[in-house]
Amino acid sequence: QVQLQESGPGLVKPSETLSLTCTVSGGSISSYYWSWIRQPAGKGLEWIGRIYTSGSTNYNPSLKSRVTMSVDTSKNQFSLKLSSVTAADTAVYYCARAIFLEGYYYGMDVWGQGTTVTVSS
């Protein structure tokens, strides 16, 4: 059974870069899309972006100028970098697996438990 685990600093200073990694266990990272989603406390979900194992990416237009995603198939990991963070970036960050089959998207079927990132000096 595939499991995802987010890791990274829980506290980031304003204007710095938030860096998170998602480790995939119990299965291969290859041939799937992988996504990042965040949720500020008491608020809704926000899609940040997705990456295919080839390295192809799509980012939320509202965050695109600050987001970089990468994948390391040798480590079964993918990563998120969000630059120039402010307090508005404080949230629980989730990684998730997105299923695409024969050109159709089947949803995000496996999620990590989420990791809380606070932006504060």
Partner 1 sequence: SYELTQPPSVSVSPGQTARITCSGDALPKQYAYWYQQKPGQAPVLVIYKDSERPSGIPERFSGSSSGTTVTLTISGVQAEDEADYYCQSADSSGTYWVFGGGTKLTFI
Give the binding site for partner 1 (CB under 8 A): 35, 37, 44-47, 50, 58, 60-62, 94, 104-109, 111-114
Our CB check for partner 1 shows the closer of 15 and 25 to be 25
Our CB check for partner 1 shows the closer of 35 and 79 to be 35
For residue 73, the minimal CB distance to partner 1 (Å) is 23
Our CB check for partner 1 shows the closer of 3 and 15 to be 3
For residue 121, the minimal CB distance to partner 1 (Å) is 27
**Burial of 19 per CB tally in 10 Å (0-12, 13-18, 19+):** middle
For residue 65, the minimal CB distance to partner 1 (Å) is 14
For residue 57, the minimal CB distance to partner 1 (Å) is 11
Our CB check for partner 1 shows the closer of 83 and 100 to be 100
Q: Are 16 and 85 in contact (CB under 8 A)?
A: yes
d(CA 94, CA 112) in angstroms, rounded, equals 6
1-5 contact pairs (CB < 8 A, 24+)? 1/26, 1/27, 2/26, 2/27, 2/97, 2/110, 3/110, 3/112, 4/95, 4/96, 4/97, 4/110, 4/111, 4/112, 5/112, 5/113
